Chain A
Amino acid sequence: MDTVRITVKIKRFDPEADARPYWAEYPVEARPTDRVLDVLNHIKWEVDGSLSYRKSCAHGICGSDAMLIDGVNRLACKLLVRDVGEIIRVEPIRGLQVIKDLIVDMEPFFDSYKAVLPYFINDDPEPARERLQSPEDREIFDATTKCILCAACTTSCPVFWTNERYIGPAAIVNAHRFIFDSRDQGTAQRFAGALGEANGLWRCRTAYNCTEACPRDIPVTRAIQEVKREMLWRSA
């Protein structure tokens, strides 16, 4: 297949060598069907081995390679060259500390996730077989089970940019996954914890960036609204 000539501009930073981040430019040949991740690999493997980023699955299910591409949070492995212009600008996701090039410190993100008690809570004795759940009840929280914890939503959120202690959309999405699961009994506990606190749910200003950023097409803003409504309803 014919290749096209593109220029990749990458915001780079090596903590052991650079005082501050800088833009590096790489002119490369790429096929229109290449993933942006393939292009980064090409640069790393043929041009500059020190270019650093995380990757694993290469098809959008492990959540390793969220980055800011042409101003929008995307997974590099889920975006093709034919869908971007001749010049691609790649930067680390925002709001988390940059460690090296496109690698950021994910710990604060995972701390917020853990704070919403993102696990199944049900203290009833376990039945011999499965707990029953109707397909309709299962459908209610289907979308939020898709989250791959890539942080594209949280790091696109203007509230998070100004307040890194805001738990962020990803954490709320994962709370939603349990709150709307007919088998789960932990809702009160979750609302009494991080979700209901000052940096919890109510910081959301429905900017919708998160919904646009989600590579799994989760209707993030709607999920957050549903959790808010549930909390209001419960406290009424």
Chain B
Amino acid sequence: MARAHKYDVIVVGAGGAGLMAARYAAQNPGVSVAVISKLYPTRSHTGAAQGGVGAALGNVSEDHPEWHAFDTVKGGDYLTDQDVADAFAHEVIDAVYELEHMGLPFSRTPEGRIAQRKFGGHTRDHGKSAVERACYAADRTGHMILQTLYQQSIKDQVVFFNEFHVLDVLIEEGTCRGVVAYELATGELHTFHAKSTVIATGGNGRMFKVTSNAHALTGDLTSIVWRRGVPMEDPEFYQFHPTGLYKIGVLLTEGARGEGGILRNADGERFMERYAPSIKDLAPRDMVSRAMFLEIREGRGVGPDKDYIHLDLTHIDAEIIEERLPDITEFARIYLGVDPITEPVPVQPTAHYAMGGIPTTIDTNVITDGENTIVPGLYAAGEVACASLHGANRLGTNSLGDLIVFGRRAGIHAAAYAKGADFEPLPTDAQDRSRAVLDAVRGASGSERASHVRRDLQATMMDHASVFRTDETLSKQVEILKELRDRYRNVSVEDTGRIFNTELMEAVELGFLLDNAEQLVHAAQHRTESRGAHSREDYKDRDDDAWLKHTLVHREDDGSVRIEFKPVTLGRYEPKPRVY
């Protein structure tokens, strides 16, 4: 295979956001498009999403996009950019219909419409009660979205480079000119020259020990572009989902609580009644995860070590569980040997979703500072990006919506830019940085194993920078990260082969992961307030006077970190205390 490629639009990542971007870019006659993915497209983690995609269709009860926008802003603890939430809540309705038109097999209401159910933080009329807004296909909505979009891409004859691992984004003199990728099957580097590049590479949950995220979610591109001068926006806001299977973190959808599931402590008490009297177990995730942590800390956790909580579905009709929650029922049976129909399931908060990421405008253009200076030719969408839709805490079902709404916008804008632009010349040394990344690991002779450094990273991030944080834990983690980085320099690999050298790639991914941890910890240490998923025990309150602003974490050439801020776009919703 030739190792130099040229496309008008390159999409990196083949999850929901990437496939949607590719589809829309490819609808422009004369615009050539290719998708690069380190996994085969259908292996992307969008396929793991269970509960649903939120859109105010009103199929089950009255609903309006304005209510959805409000819930998104309030759920995000007012750090959400309100213009983004507005556009999103309106466009997602169309986008869901579009998925249905592509054949997506949604579950159905008795009238034959797309079925909808309740989900955390989604309410009727500005918080009055929970509303059925999550459009679902049993508990495999993400699987169906991923399959449907991939099926469409076969129909549309999209070009794929599968099992190609992107190692560099060629940002030169302020514009993006393409990417460099490592072909797993041959060990060769390929240069992709492009007018527009869309980054859609998903999350970075693997920096934590207990996570719902796939092994592949190592934040590669959030590290790569950071080292190319793009800051990270709001990385301190990392979501812990309340119901991960005890110890292994595999997710049980919030849809389980949407169908009536209840969280109970060791006394059998429905403790969420104390924390969120109006919507109880369906409060936003940050609040529920914190409540669970507090219950455990105060000695009311379940089990011999009093370190988990029960998710109780036993009062729900067995038929409803089998029909609407078949997959998670199976997960509990297989991995914990617990049958949710007859026994409560042991759960604990699990690292789940990055609200922050590569900063973009509402049109998905990547920006480099608080003045919204864009990088021509560079776009980002999906979990990797931060258009500031989710603010300080994402509502369930809003990520799948984000993928289809902003994936679409990215495809449209990337293609429009490509049509009007020329190919900017590539530097002569286009592959140098990528080769350096590989050689750093290949050439090392140290005795350290990547797996040990990764294990220690994951454990310490969990201890010092997860649901609750203090200046003390974060300072400690800053020091630990320095040590881990030193140890990383001593990581070497046994496999010296070229073909499918997965050991080498895991070591490279660990390097990316360390950058992601650094971004998060520094931003978290800086923000001396509690907001959404960022909960500081030494600064318990939200402080709008000082902190109603986005963080931008820059990496300086000497490796140090600089923090800048960016205003939140407000609108019709005045910041108010967030009670449910």
Docked complex: A112-132 residues within 8 A CB-CB of B? 114, 117-120, 122, 126, 128-132
| B43 x A63 contact (CB < 8 A) | yes
Q: CB distance A52 to B97 under 8 Å?
A: no
Is A163 part of the contact surface with B, judged by Cβ < 8 Å? no
Given contacts A50-B503, A52-B500, A141-B105, contact A132 B113 (CB under 8 A): yes
Q: Which of A62, A63, A138 contacts B45 (CB 8 A)?
A: A62
Residue among A33, A35, A56, A178 with most chain B CB within 10 A: A56
Whether B490 sits at the interface, judged by CB under 8 Å, is: no
* Among A50, A55, A131, residue most surrounded by chain B Cβ atoms (within 10 Å): A50
- Which B98-121 residues have a C-beta within 8 angstroms of A? 100-103, 105-114
- Interface residue ranges of B317-351 to A (CB < 8 Å): 327, 331, 334-337
In the complex where A16-B498, A118-B154, A130-B113 touch, is A56 in contact with B45 (Cβ < 8 A)?
A: yes
Dominant SS among interface residues on chain B: loop
A61 in the interface (beta carbon within 8 A) = yes
- Select from chain A the residue with minimum beta-carbon distance to B101: A126
B47 interfacial contact with A, CB 8 Å: yes
- Asked, given contacts A52-B502, A59-B331, A99-B500, whether A146 binds B140 with beta carbons under 8 Å apart, the answer is yes
Q: Are A57 and B48 in contact (CB under 8 A)?
A: yes
Q: Are A148 and B42 in contact (CB under 8 A)?
A: yes
Interface segment, A40-48, A87-95, A195-203, A223-231? A40-48
Q: Determine the residue in chain B with the shortest Cβ distance to A58.
A: B215
A127 to B450 Cα, complex, angstroms: 53
Q: Mark B462-499, 1 if CB is under 8 A from A, else 0.
A: 00000000000000000000000000000001110111
A61 touches B449 (CB 8 A): no
Interface string of B128-151 (1 = CB under 8 A from A): 000000000110100110011001
Taking CB atoms, residues of chain B closer than 8 Å to A110 are 40
The number of A-B residue pairs with CB atoms under 8 Å apart is 155
Provide the residues of chain A in CB contact with B97, threshold 8 Å. 128-130
Question: Is A145 part of the contact surface with B, judged by Cβ < 8 Å?
Answer: yes
Judged by a CB distance under 8 angstroms, whether A159 is at the interface is no
A64 within 8 A of B: yes
The reply to whether A56 and B494 form a contact with Cβ atoms under 8 Å apart is no
* Contact status B215-A16, CB under 8 Å: no
CB distance from A68 to the nearest CB of B (A): 18
For A56, the chain B residues whose CB sits under 8 A away are 39, 43, 45, 214-216
- CB of A183 within 8 A of chain B? yes
> How far apart sit A165 and B498, CA to CA, in the bound complex (Å)?
29
User: Is A106 an interface position by the 8 A CB rule?
Assistant: yes
Number of A interface residues in the complex (CB < 8 A): 60
Q: How far is the CA of A147 from the CA of B215 in the complex (A)?
A: 21
A49-B494, A56-B43, A57-B214 in contact; A100/B105 too (CB < 8 A)?
Answer: no
Q: Assess the A62–B106 pair: CB atoms within 8 A.
A: no
CB contacts (< 8 Å) of B105 on chain A: these are: 138, 141-142, 145, 177, 181
- Closest residue of chain B to A122, judged by CB? B103
Contact A62 B449, beta carbon cutoff 8 Å = no
Most chain B CB atoms below 10 A, which of A52, A62, A148: A62
Query: Would you call A100 and B500 a contact (CB within 8 A)?
Result: yes
Closest Cβ neighbor of A105 among chain B residues = B185
Q: Among B44, B108, B327, which residue has its beta carbon within 8 angstroms of that of A138? A: B108
Contacts of B334 in A (CB 8 A): 60, 78, 80
- Distance in angstroms from B153 CB to nearest chain A CB is 9
Inter-subunit contact A44/B503 (CB<8 Å): yes
CB pair B155 A119 closer than 8 Å: yes
Query: Which of B144, B154, B248, B495 has a CB less than 8 Å from the CB of A114?
Result: B154
Please report the C-alpha to C-alpha distance between residue A53 and residue B337 in the assembled complex, in whole angstroms. Answer: 27
Q: Take A56-B214, A62-B48, A183-B103 as given contacts and tell me if A33 and B335 are in contact as well, using a CB distance cutoff of 8 Å.
A: yes
Q: Which residues of A contact B48 (CB under 8 A)?
A: 57, 59, 61-62
Extra 8 A-B pairs, beta carbons < 8 Å, given A46-B451, A59-B48: A15-B499, A60-B334, A63-B42, A119-B154, A129-B113, A135-B109, A138-B106, A145-B140
Residues of chain B touching chain A, judged by Cβ–Cβ distance below 8 Å, are 39-40, 42-45, 47-48, 57, 97, 100-103, 105-114, 137-138, 140, 143-144, 147-148, 151-152, 154-155, 185, 214-216, 248, 250, 327, 331, 334-337, 449-452, 493-495, 497-503
Q: List 5 A-B contacts (CB under 8 A).
A: A14-B499, A15-B499, A99-B500, A142-B105, A145-B140
